[in-house]
Structure 1
Amino acid sequence: MNTNKEKELIKKIYELVKELNEEQEKHKEKEQKEEYVLNLLHSFKKGLEIYDLLTLNSYLRTEENRKQIGQKLYDL
């Protein structure tokens, strides 16, 4: 049979393992949230790039704007 000291040690070990599992779960949740935010930022950045390209495309549809861009590039 387990002595009182052994029972106390088993109880403490159980509590420590439980705390460790809780901390690991919190850390895992934090990492998931960070990954979600990074994915959102990446998607937003891609959306801005697409918007910029579409805006540039519509800007370049007129001959005058294409000439202005060409002249600016030539001047560089």
Structure 2
Amino acid sequence: MSAFVYVIATDAPAGRRTYVGWTVDLEQRLARHNAGRGAKSTRGRSWVLLYAERFDSRRDAMSREWHLKKDRAFRAQVTRA
């Protein structure tokens, strides 16, 4: 089963916010974030998908998510694109 790592962003009054996560259904996950049923830190905002990577296993996706959450330079690069 394939899994995805994604970066979403919102333009909040205090500045652009980003969120990194993983899922097996990218469209459904983005819809959940925008419906207020996503991660607690994403509720109450409108999100757009900036970046996604596909992996063959959940384990690989979770590992990449962990690395991306720590890589602020990558997140800044993605938001500028």
For the aligned pair, the TM-score class normalised by the smaller chain equals under 0.3
> Structure 1-normalised TM-score?
0.24
> Structure 2-normalised TM-score?
0.23
Asked which structure has the greater RCO (Cα within 8 Å, sep 6+), the reply is 2
Which structure dedicates a bigger proportion of its chain to helix? 1
Which structure dedicates a bigger proportion of its chain to strand? 2
